[in-house]
């Protein structure tokens, strides 16, 4: 009986976060904050129990929603990979929310603070629903909820920059979701189903018979390109630097590490559970991903090295990292997808760390975000300096940290694929060099002992005394530990993920 009860938890997670959103509306900012932290923790604990249950039993299970059975009703599907992703997203979200707490106090109007938590709770709902759902149209609805709440999280700071960034973000996202919706409609017209497993059966039949090839390819193309636009793959990234660079710290951390990853996870599900990986391989859409992924790696890194604002630099680095993930898809092997999944984890753990650390560094430099003004910031705020260095090393791919493992996995996956081996390895090498250039420049500047002295006003930040934030130290320790765990104990995690991915078929 106890076993049965744990199986309800994915649904409880979705319901709990969904209802805590509107509940925050009538609470004061402080209470809404505690509710939000409590909900994230509760969802994390429940996801952990679900993970223990499904990896113990070794079988994924399907949870029926409502009265109607399989071909008509709505379903949730829970496997080890899904439960692990939910748990991981909760950890990142909890750390990012606590890490940005101090900045939020000054950046968000106090009477509107509870509105921010509505957005965060709804964002968590949509991420968890995207992870678990087995129904394509439900996925579309939650993609839209995800977009709307992310837009709210960008614009909560209410200055011209964030308003403009959120409008640009909405426009790009709407183009993407329009294409996704049209793709789903094509697929529904072809197969007559909305549940992922039923669509897969029908698509396999259609592909085997060789009929309806053009519409199937159109549907695949529309869905893949739509989700690529939404997750800011290289030519569609124009909104990203402003949205990440000027929003409040916890928004930037959550947007960069979780929001785009939710769409990418949906894309993986579409690859394996909706269309079937063989059909995707035959469609050659992955070659497109490969090319644009590599282009994104190069362009993102080059733009980042020309950037003088530390937040925008980290944001451009996100463009490059999204490029890595799509390059992994582009390899067209399960190993490549596995490397991408690992990179989702390592990028999420590292990028949120970098955003929180960067805000700590600029706080002790008169609130400036320009890299040159951060000179010596690593001495003024030691914890943030160490955390930034760890994040930078992990992004570069230094052994011990998570980025190293994902780069190794990409290289290993590339070796199996003869035609794409050389471009992948060259791209990895070049991008690593570029990463070293801009991240090490930043690390060297923050550890230059002279300190910044402003030429005009003679302002000197060396004497700035840091107020201690105990919660930030905890967050930095948590993020660094997470990076070390992903970097040093990768084997069980890789095994868990590949087992979960194997159950996707």
Binding site for another protein (CB under 8 A): 72, 137, 140-141, 144, 147-148, 151, 155, 159-161, 163-164, 166-168, 170-171, 174-175, 178-179, 181-182, 185, 188-189, 194, 246
Nearer to another protein, 98 or 358 (CB): 358
Whole-angstrom Cα distance, residue 476 to residue 357? 8
> Angle at Cα 279 formed by Cα 423 and Cα 287, nearest 5°?
20
Contact 125, 21 (CB under 8 A): yes
What SS3 class is residue 380?
Answer: helix
Sign of CA dihedral 16, 22, 23, 25: positive
Nearer to another protein, 22 or 178 (CB): 178
Nearer to another protein, 141 or 488 (CB): 141
Tokens, residue 125:
């709902």
What SS3 class is residue 453?
Answer: strand
List helix spans (H) across 331-373. 334-363
Tokens, residue 306:
């020309």
User: Minimal distance in Å, beta carbon 119 to another protein?
Assistant: 12
Nearer to another protein, 129 or 294 (CB): 129
Contact 354, 394 (CB under 8 A): no
User: Minimal distance in Å, beta carbon 288 to another protein?
Assistant: 19
User: Minimal distance in Å, beta carbon 499 to another protein?
Assistant: 34
Nearer to another protein, 194 or 268 (CB): 194
Nearer to another protein, 270 or 427 (CB): 270
User: Minimal distance in Å, beta carbon 158 to another protein?
Assistant: 8
Contact 227, 292 (CB under 8 A): no
User: Minimal distance in Å, beta carbon 39 to another protein?
Assistant: 23
Q: How many CB atoms lie within 10 A of CB 441?
A: 14
User: Minimal distance in Å, beta carbon 107 to another protein?
Assistant: 12
Nearer to another protein, 89 or 239 (CB): 239
How many H-runs (helices) and E-runs (strands) does the chain carry? 23, 2
Whole-angstrom Cα distance, residue 144 to residue 46? 25
User: Minimal distance in Å, beta carbon 444 to another protein?
Assistant: 25
Question: Which residue has 């996202």 as its token pair?
Answer: 173
Nearer to another protein, 6 or 148 (CB): 148
Whole-angstrom Cα distance, residue 181 to residue 393? 40
The residues that bridge with 440 in the sheet, in sequence order, are: none
Whole-angstrom Cα distance, residue 242 to residue 219? 32
């Amino acid at each position: 009986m106890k076993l049965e009860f744990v199986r309800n938890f994915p649904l409880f997670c979705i319901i709990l976060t969904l209802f805590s959103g509107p509940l925050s509306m009538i609470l004061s900012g402080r209470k809404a904050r505690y509710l939000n932290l409590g909900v994230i923790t509760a969802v994390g604990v429940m996801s952990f129990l679900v993970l223990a249950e499904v990896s113990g039993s070794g079988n994924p299970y399907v949870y029926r929603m409502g009265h109607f059975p399989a071909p008509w009703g709505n379903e949730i599907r829970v496997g080890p990979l899904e439960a692990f992703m939910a748990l991981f997203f909760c950890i990142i979200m909890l750390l990012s929310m606590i890490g940005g707490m101090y900045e939020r106090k000054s950046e968000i109007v106090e009477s509107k603070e509870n509105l921010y938590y509505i957005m965060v709770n709804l964002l968590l709902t949509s991420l968890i629903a995207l992870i678990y759902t087995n129904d394509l149209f439900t996925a579309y609805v939650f993609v839209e909820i995800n977009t709307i709440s992310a837009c709210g999280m960008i614009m909560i700071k209410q200055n011209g920059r964030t308003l403009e960034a959120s409008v640009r973000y909405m426009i790009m996202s709407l183009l993407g979701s329009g294409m996704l919706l049209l793709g789903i409609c094509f697929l529904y017209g072809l197969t007559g189903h909305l549940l992922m497993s039923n669509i897969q059966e029908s698509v396999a039949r259609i592909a085997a018979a060789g009929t309806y090839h053009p519409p199937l390819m159109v549907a695949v193309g529309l869905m893949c390109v739509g989700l690529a636009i939404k997750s800011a793959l290289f030519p569609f990234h124009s909104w990203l630097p402003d949205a990440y660079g000027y929003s409040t710290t916890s928004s930037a951390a959550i947007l960069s590490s979780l929001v785009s990853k939710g769409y990418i996870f949906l894309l993986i599900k579409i690859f394996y559970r909706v269309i079937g990986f063989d059909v995707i391989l035959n469609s050659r859409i992955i070659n497109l991903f490969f090319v644009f992924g590599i282009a994104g790696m190069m362009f993102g890194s080059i733009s980042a090295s020309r950037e003088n604002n530390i937040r925008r630099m980290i944001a451009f680095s996100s463009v490059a990292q999204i490029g890595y993930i799509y390059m992994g898809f582009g390899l067209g092997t399960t190993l490549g997808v596995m490397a991408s999944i690992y990179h989702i984890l390592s990028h999420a753990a590292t990028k949120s760390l970098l955003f929180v650390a960067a805000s700590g560094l600029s706080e002790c430099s008169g609130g400036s975000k320009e890299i040159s003004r951060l000179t010596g910031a690593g001495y003024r705020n030691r914890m943030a300096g160490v955390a930034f260095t760890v994040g930078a090393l992990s992004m570069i791919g230094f052994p011990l940290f998570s980025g190293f493992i994902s780069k190794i996995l990409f290289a290993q996956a590339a070796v199996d694929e003869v035609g794409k081996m050389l471009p992948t390895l060259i791209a990895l090498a070049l991008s690593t060099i570029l990463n070293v250039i801009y991240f090490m420049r930043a690390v060297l500047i923050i550890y230059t002992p002279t300190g910044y002295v402003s030429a005009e006003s003679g302002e000197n930040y060396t004497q700035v005394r840091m107020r201690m934030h105990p919660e930030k130290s905890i967050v930095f320790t948590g993020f660094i530990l997470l990076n070390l765990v992903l970097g040093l104990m990768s084997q069980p995690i890789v095994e868990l993920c590949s087992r979960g991915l194997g159950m996707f078929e």
